[in-house]
Chains A and B, each alone.
Chain A
């Protein structure tokens, strides 16, 4: 290696010049690219591996899904041109596009679909797809573009799941050639961008795939910087070190919105904040559960913690989703709460005592929500001891029946399908459910096998009402994400909160 004195001096001069220009100005020079400050890294570049909601908008740049979810939450053609679930819900016939190529130029066929959703599971690859698609007994390939998925039990939500987490088609030949480890090191998909550089917990550099079969993205290059700290993300956009970011605090979003060169907004999405209830302790008493729900002023919570943008919810479903019922209301009524508690012998002097778990910082305002609810409850005669837990412990505690009466929780469901809201929330046989009860369990089990869409939605509406009216769940607010960006960057808004680099453009 030889380093000449002249090159050192030249570089030092360049560095000095760079240092003398405002960074934002330097970075703003490239307008065919965008720099995104994103809160999390991908857990791996095997998109079938983990169901991590925040990783999906990144995966969707590199990989494609069989069915595409639209901004309005409906499902439309993606890699599949058509699909049809049989009446008994046991077979799912699909027709794939014939013009899709992976980034290495190889053509995608139904064999790749079979490999991603069946053969990898049989080969015992450590992938979450194996759990999601455990009902798949085979995928019959009829031609390069036609296949039939076979299920061991009815799977009415197969279509939404094919547009949901971890459901991506990976190239069979390439993965078999390089192995799973090799694929994670050098992943290829069929998506609108190719991964050209990746550094763990730091950044991803993506270049446009000019051979993409779908709409061509405007931007040639996307740089995703992993910035975990919300204050640092806000600062990154403010200083021009990032063009767009998400999930800054509501206060920061409101502050950034006042900066003339920036735009910031609070966007309601398909995620909801709720109290996961468990029928234990004083929550074995329906009066206490319903009183706890009546005593919460959700509008005040939204105003104080989410700048009024989070919509108060009466049922565990967000507006715009198929099972949402605008007319169903569960009132904020302090007098009624006190009356219900009195029936069970509780009042502010002799309060019903319970424990409330919450995360702190897992989602925006989580701990504040818990504290505010504890205050509201104290006034009517419920004394809640608030305890902070790590999000990672939630499932473990739930599996071991160690959750207390209530836990502040953020429920994510990009699909908007009621099965992934009330169904998963209340099915006592699934690890998501904190509420374990036979009657509700029967209702949910029946709905899991209902293939008629209209009947299924009506069934879930009834289940939602029933669960809320007996206090099995206490929905609070529709979650929001905060998005801050430099002007004039534009992007498509998705009802489920996806921020997709492939839809971004300047001006």
Chain B
């Protein structure tokens, strides 16, 4: 790996640690300010006030806020996110069980958003200045203005109910048992040589991934189009054209390479948001990921889960940003040299 990239990753990690620290403080303090008593939430509704008071002491809730935070973060650093008040199970186990599923979904969502975004961006660029431009422009605006959960419901009604083409409940059909190894179902299915399970799982992911991806594609389209427009005003494009290079080669080998960099930046930010988009999409599609877990935790005021999932989301966004920056360096020799 190029030294510049290694240095950049090192710098990113150094910055990420204090950011995660700040996020952890915010999460902890904000949740403690809510009118919810974690001790009471962890007990039966008919628990007496005395039993709840005893539980508060047992959970360390009688101590000052800084003390409580110190205890909590100390445990988190050892991989102990506490016990869920609803499930009464260690939170780390719940996160480990659900995170791979969400990563798989977001990965497919990214593929959908990238394919649609790049194809749409190129199309928008291609029809610039023609009568089709305002139509395509209107279409992309329309796509952008519809939130993920509406897409999710629309796809269920269209592909699930009206056309009966695709499943929209859970991750696998009733006839299949889930192979369990890494938690990544697609990978696990391939690992045990079950292509049928792989395809079935993939079919179950099509609609949620489409709902996630389609909401993010329009931004990619628009940025790619405007980047291409900018690049096409550069001298080297004119010179290349004068040299007689065909338009298609001009686009794919010269313009696109430079125009993709701002698009990549945007995609980095967008994909961070995509994890947030999983909250409602996973609930609507009964998809057993971390978004579903988070919504459940909010409903049950299950603070240990909310804190753990919140921190995990923050860490994921930081990782994605680092990966995008690394890709930036890989694609841009100028930046690589500067790094």
Contacts and interface: CB of A to CB of B under 8 A. Distances in A.
Interface stretch (A8-16, A67-75, A137-145, A345-353): A8-16
A40 to B, nearest CB: 9
A187 to B, nearest CB: 13
A395 B292 CA distance: 24
A242 interface: yes
Contacts of A7: 193, 195
Contacts of B271: none
Nearest to B280: A229
Interface in A436-487: none
Contacts of B49: 399, 431
B45 interface: yes
Nearest to A52: B86
A126 B42 CA distance: 9
Nearest to B49: A399
B98 A201 contact: yes
A37 B174 CA distance: 12
B47 A431 contact: yes
Contacts of A50: 44, 86, 88
A343 interface: no
A370 to B, nearest CB: 19
Interface in A1-59: 1-3, 7-8, 10-12, 14-15, 18-19, 22-24, 26-27, 30, 33, 35, 37, 41, 43-44, 49-51
B331 to A, nearest CB: 32
Contacts of B195: 3, 7-8, 10-12
Contacts of B142: none
B203 A242 contact: no
Interface stretch (A232-240, A278-286, A316-324): A232-240
A216 B286 CA distance: 31
Nearest to B46: A131
A17 to B, nearest CB: 11
B165 interface: yes
A128 B41 CA distance: 12
B47 A203 contact: no
Contacts of A231: 153, 156, 284
Given A11-B199, A199-B288, A225 B170 contact: yes
B94 interface: yes
Interface string A190-232: 0000000101111101000000000000000001011111011
A225 to B, nearest CB: 5
A258 interface: no
A235 B178 contact: no
Given A11-B195, A240-B164, A399-B52, A44 B40 contact: no
B98 A200 contact: yes
A19 B87 CA distance: 37
Contacts of B41: 392, 396
Contacts of A15: 196, 199-200, 203
Interface string B172-212: 11110110000000000011110110111001000000000
A397 B301 CA distance: 13
Nearest to B192: A1
Interface in B274-319: 283-288, 292-293, 295-296, 298-301
Contacts of A1: 190-193
A391 interface: yes
Given A44-B89, A390-B299, A201 B171 contact: no
A241 interface: yes
Contacts of B298: 390
Contact of A49 (B88, B98, B196): B88
A131 B157 CA distance: 45
A393 B301 contact: yes
Nearest to A21: B164
Interface in A255-308: none
B195 to A, nearest CB: 4
Contacts of A30: 174-175
Contacts of B293: 200-201
B46 A201 contact: no
A201 B288 contact: yes
Nearest to B290: A201
A68 B249 CA distance: 77
A431 B45 contact: yes
Contacts of B35: 393, 396-397, 400, 402
B161 A235 contact: yes
Contact of A239 (B98, B160, B173, B178): B160
A225 B299 contact: no
B157 to A, nearest CB: 7
B31 to A, nearest CB: 13
A199 B283 contact: no
B168 A399 contact: no
A197 B288 CA distance: 14
B300 A392 contact: yes
Contacts of A239: 160-161, 164, 168
Contacts of A494: none
Contacts of A181: 89
Interface in B39-98: 40-49, 51-52, 86-89, 94, 97-98
A396 B169 contact: no
Interface of B: 35-37, 40-49, 51-52, 86-89, 94, 97-98, 153, 156-157, 160-161, 164-175, 177-178, 190-193, 195-196, 198-200, 203, 283-288, 292-293, 295-296, 298-301
Given A37-B169, A200-B288, A396-B40, 7 more contacts: A197-B177, A201-B293, A203-B172, A235-B157, A393-B35, A396-B36, A399-B37
Interface of A: 1-3, 7-8, 10-12, 14-15, 18-19, 22-24, 26-27, 30, 33, 35, 37, 41, 43-44, 49-51, 126, 128, 130-132, 181, 184, 197, 199-203, 205, 223, 225-229, 231-232, 235-236, 238-242, 390-393, 395-397, 399-400, 402, 424, 430-432
**What are the 8 closest A-B residue pairs judged by CB atoms, nearest first?**
A202-B288, A11-B195, A128-B44, A392-B301, A131-B44, A22-B164, A15-B199, A201-B288
13 contacts: A11-B198, A12-B195, A14-B199, A15-B200, A18-B203, A50-B44, A200-B293, A201-B98, A202-B171, A227-B169, A228-B286, A228-B296, A235-B160
